[in-house]
Structure 1
Amino acid sequence: MAPDISTVGGAPSQGASAFQIAALRRAGIAQLAAASVPSPMADVDLLACFVLGIERAELKLRELRGESFSAFEAAKFNDLLAARATRIPLQHLTGQGYFRYLTLKVGPGVFSPRPETESVVQVGLDFLAEQRLENPRCVDLCSGSGAIAAALATEAKNSTVWAVELSDDAIGYTRANCEPLGVKVLHQDAADLPAALEGTMDLVVSNPPYIPPNAVPREPEVREHDPQMALYGLGEDGLQIPRAITAQAMRLLRPGGLFVMEHAEVQEHSAAQLLRDAGFISIAGHQDLTGRARSTSGMAP
């Protein structure tokens, strides 16, 4: 039987020290650092919060008070640490991904939302704010988890939002994250949408697959766990799918509407040319919070 580490009279009972939050947290950080996990401290804290069902501020308070995990919680925490040390994505272990102000459902089969994509959404939101539209119409192409669509639905006032995703594996996550927010989810090819939508959108945002076939990601979390369908953009330059998405965006937008597309830093100039070739005007590049070229936008004439 596992030792009882419940508190009596405010003091942990015998055996509790082996499960102290501070001690297990330190050991976990060392374990993940040794496995070359990029953010060991943040990952340990998020896993601890997941196990305990609390926020990070509460975790810090419990650590300062010298509190402990239960034996069951400690075992679960250590199992999750061992899995993370093999570079299984944190989001796959918790089933949660954080994006802007949202907590999203994620897991195997869907691309985990990345912080850099938050800046792509901001470009679109800034445009809508400048336009002062009463009921903006927006669409997220290659939606995956639905992160972009969900953010637009919650942050663009009175908006009507569509999310388009082709993958049979990802569409369940798209629906779970978007439909409760009123987003209209379409399970189909983003390059082949109903003609009734053409010329009706104020904003099109997309984080399409864009990695060239010979540019295999270095990070094991991406290379081994993100779906290839969400990574590789096809063609020698990885831009075959982005070209199709750009052409579709032009069809969907009303005159003066904006298209924002995420891309790799090294594709900054290629993406701008791609938008020019499709007929977009007022083309501009945008950086993420790390200062890297992250997206390109253009207006429909």
Structure 2
Amino acid sequence: MTTIDALRREAIDALAAGGVPAPEVDADLLIGHVLGLSRGGVQARALISSVVADDAAAAIRAAVTRRAAREPLQHITGLAPFRSLELEVGPGVFTPRPETEFVVQFAIDALALVPSPDPLAVDLGSGSGAIALAMATEVPHSRVVAVEKSADALPWTARNIERHGDGRVRLVEGDLADALPELDGLVDVVASNPPYIPLGAVPRDPEVRLFDPAAALYSGEDGLDAVRALSRTARRLLRPGGALVIEHGELQAADIGAILRADGFSAIACHRDLLGRDRATTARR
């Protein structure tokens, strides 16, 4: 017979030994996932040494073993929190990050300010659908088109749009380089978290290096091939005065600004995230 507090201590030790950055948090979330409890619920039951059934204890230990091997927590639970949403994720799709929650705010703000009863936004390289769905749910009178190329990612995009899109998000299979010619000059906001890691760079975190799809990470020798294509596509899609929002690496702001300036964008600005790192660039058509 096993108690939650004993399982929790065991899980924390195993996760810490595996180098997981926040072992206590992940232990609580994994136990809660198996038992259907919030993190607070796990901690409350640990205080009174609640007993855990053998099959549930085995499931918790299996989940902890996977996480200790640095499989992403979101792959184990099948869910990734993103702003007000819970998105389904797994192998083949990029797991949305807290940094993108910061970046998408610029797109939401721009979309909300459009003087139209049904402003139009496009998310290029949508992946899980995080950016598209955040815009659609937080600007509820908007229309959003999500563009995704990867055959592995598309089922996840479709599933999340079905779950959260409320009929206002349209999924289009296609490459961001030549997407949506029928919308040229009609779009109010284009937003994207494109791949931006240089081919020679190796991500530090095993969760990224081993589990995120390469197509969502790497983009040419300098990491900016997708951004170059994105800039040209956004220039074509946006109406005059329309807004572009791009997430990028912390050392890429100057190069991205130069790309956008060469393509005719104005009001180019870089924005730092909560850790003070360059994280997003915005511009106007």
Q: Give the TM-score taking structure 2 as reference length.
A: 0.95
Shift of 1:132: 4.8
1:215-294 equivalences under 5 Å are 215-234=201-220, 236-294=221-279
- 1:187 correspondence with 2:173: yes
Letter in 1 for 2:33: F
Q: Which runs of 4+ in 1 moved over 4 A?
A: none
For 2:270, what is the secondary structure of its paired residue?
strand
SS of the counterpart of 1:266? Answer: coil
CA RMSD of aligned residues (A): 1.2
Q: Secondary structure at the match of 2:44?
A: helix
Quick one: structure 1 residues 71 and 46, their matched pair in 2 at CA, closer, same or farther if it must change by over 3 Å?
same
Of stretches 113-122 and 35-44 in structure 1, the one that deviates more from structure 2 is 35-44
Tell me if the contact between 2:83 and 2:101 (Cα under 8 Å) persists in the aligned partners: yes
SS in 2 for 1:138: strand
Which residue pairs with 1:150 in the alignment?
133
Picking from 100, 104, 121, the partner of 1:117 is 100
Deviations 1:154-192 (A, max 9, x none): 111211011100000000001001134121001111111
Q: Give the conservation status (yes or no) of the 8 Å contact 1:138–1:161.
A: yes
Q: Deviations over 1:105-134 (max 9, x none)?
A: 100011111110001110111223334542
How far apart, in 2, do the equivalents of 1:198 and 1:54 lie? 48
Counting matched residue pairs gives 282
* Aligned position for 1:168: 151
Find 1:209's aligned residue among 158, 173, 195: 195
Higher mean displacement: 53-62 or 272-281: 53-62
- Which letter does structure 2 place at the counterpart of 1:36? G
Q: CA deviation at 1:273?
A: 1.2
* Equivalent residue letter for 2:241: G
Gaps of 5+ in 1: 1-14
CA gap of 1:78–1:247, structure 2 versus 1, over 3 A, is same
Between 112-121 and 130-139, the greater mean CA deviation after superposition: 130-139
Is the Cα contact below 8 Å between 2:111 and 2:121 reproduced in 1? Answer: no
In structure 2, C-alpha distance between the alignment counterparts of 1:258 and 1:121, rounded to whole Å: 12
The one-letter code of the counterpart of 1:47 is L
Percent of aligned pairs with the same amino acid: 50
Q: Which amino acid aligns with 1:189?
A: D
CA distance in 2 between counterparts of 1:77 and 1:194 reads 45
Counterpart secondary structure, 1:245 = helix
**In structure 1, distance between residues paired with 2:162 and 2:265:** 31
TM-score (norm 1): 0.90
* 2-structure distance, mates of 1:201, 1:149: 14
In the alignment, is the contact (CA less than 8 A) between 2:28 and 2:43 conserved in 1?
no
